[in-house]
Amino acid sequence: MTSGDWPVRWIRERLGYEPRDASLFVAALTHRSASGQNNERLEFLGDAVLNLAVARHLYEAFPEASEGDLSRLRARVVSGEPLAEVAAGIGLGDELQLGSGELKTGGFRRQSILADALEAVCGAVFLDGGLDAAERVIRKLFEPRIAALPAPETLKDAKTRLQEYLQSRGYALPRYTVDRIEGEAHAQTFQVTCDVSEIGRQAQGRGSSRRRAEQEAAERILLEIETH
């Protein structure tokens, strides 16, 4: 991990980018638990660069998507879990410089550390080569995920989709009723009925919160609508 041309070879092979200032990438791959300059400032910058690049890619890839749809799609790409998965896929964890405590506890596999380091690397590319270079790297890393995204409308939660379905047809909004609350206060289960009287549909949902129960009930109504 600390061979003579680290991390230039890794950046070149995994990102397809030729670094000019290797020290930027050394910092990007150095966690705050290690000695020396760490990646926190680059992470801050890289977060903005990554969001801009992905937003532009989504804007081009989904020309009919609304602002809300684009925001939901972006969250699918740049939230902690997908960032960590992309980072793991390019072997970023193996390149991280961590303090002894993080090494002992497997910090190189921790989702938050991987996601933050990937953002820092994006920030380093931006400082080293400019926005065009950063966008090329980010597209290379995220294009398969963006290509695999579902249709924007399916990202809306069930209650929103049901509401939009009914409003588009001039129907009244659904009515949600809590039928039962079971269990102790710290571990309750809610049962809710969703009633759409104008189309003769009713369904029950259960969940650990009222909102989750309502979402399940709405999802069941939508399933009935789609299959009949």
What CATH number corresponds to the domain at position 210?
3.30.160.20
Same domain, 210 and 145: no
* Structural domain span for residue 202: 156-227
Structure tokens at 134: 């950063």
Which residue's entry shows tokens 């890619």?
57
For residue 128, the one-letter residue type is D
Establish whether 179 is a catalytic residue. no
Q: Is the residue at 3 inside a domain? A: no
Same domain, 147 and 160: no
- Given a cut of 70, is residue 2 above it in pLDDT? no
Same domain, 66 and 136: yes
Distance, in Å, from the CA atom of 23 to the CA atom of 20, rounded to the nearest integer, reads 9
Residues 126-162: tens digit of each pLDDT: 999 999 999 999 999 999 999 999 888 777 788 988 9
Pick the residue with more confidence: 54 or 79? Answer: 54
pTM: 0.71
**Once rounded to an integer, what is the mean pLDDT over residues 71-78?**
90
- The string of DSSP letters for 59-75 reads HHH-TT--HHHHHHHHH
Q: Is the residue at 2 inside a domain? A: no
User: Of these residues, 119, 128, 214, 219, which one is catalytic?
Assistant: 119
Same domain, 124 and 190: no
Structure tokens at 49: 């660069």
Q: Mean pLDDT in the chain?
A: 92
217, 227, 228 from 175: Cα distances, Å: 11, 22, 21
Residue 107's pLDDT is: 79
Total domains in the fold of the chain: 2
- Given a cut of 80, is residue 104 above it in pLDDT? yes
Residue 106's pLDDT is: 84
Q: Is the residue at 62 inside a domain? A: yes
Same domain, 174 and 220: yes
CATH number of domain containing 94: 1.10.1520.10
**Once rounded to an integer, what is the mean pLDDT over residues 34-54?**
95
Domain boundary among 152, 168, 185: 152
Contact 162, 220 (CB under 8 A): no
User: Of these residues, 43, 47, 128, 216, which one is catalytic?
Assistant: 47
Give, in degrees to the nearest 5, the angle at Cα 50 between 44 and 51: 95
Give the other-Cβ count within 10 Å of 103's Cβ.
15
Which pairs from 220-224 meet CB under 8 Å and 24+ separation?
Answer: 220/194, 221/162, 221/174, 221/194, 221/196, 222/158, 222/161, 222/162, 222/165
Establish whether 47 is a catalytic residue. yes
Same domain, 147 and 168: no
Residues 150-205: tens digit of each pLDDT: 888 777 788 988 998 999 999 999 999 999 999 988 889 999 999 999 999 999 99
Same domain, 95 and 195: no
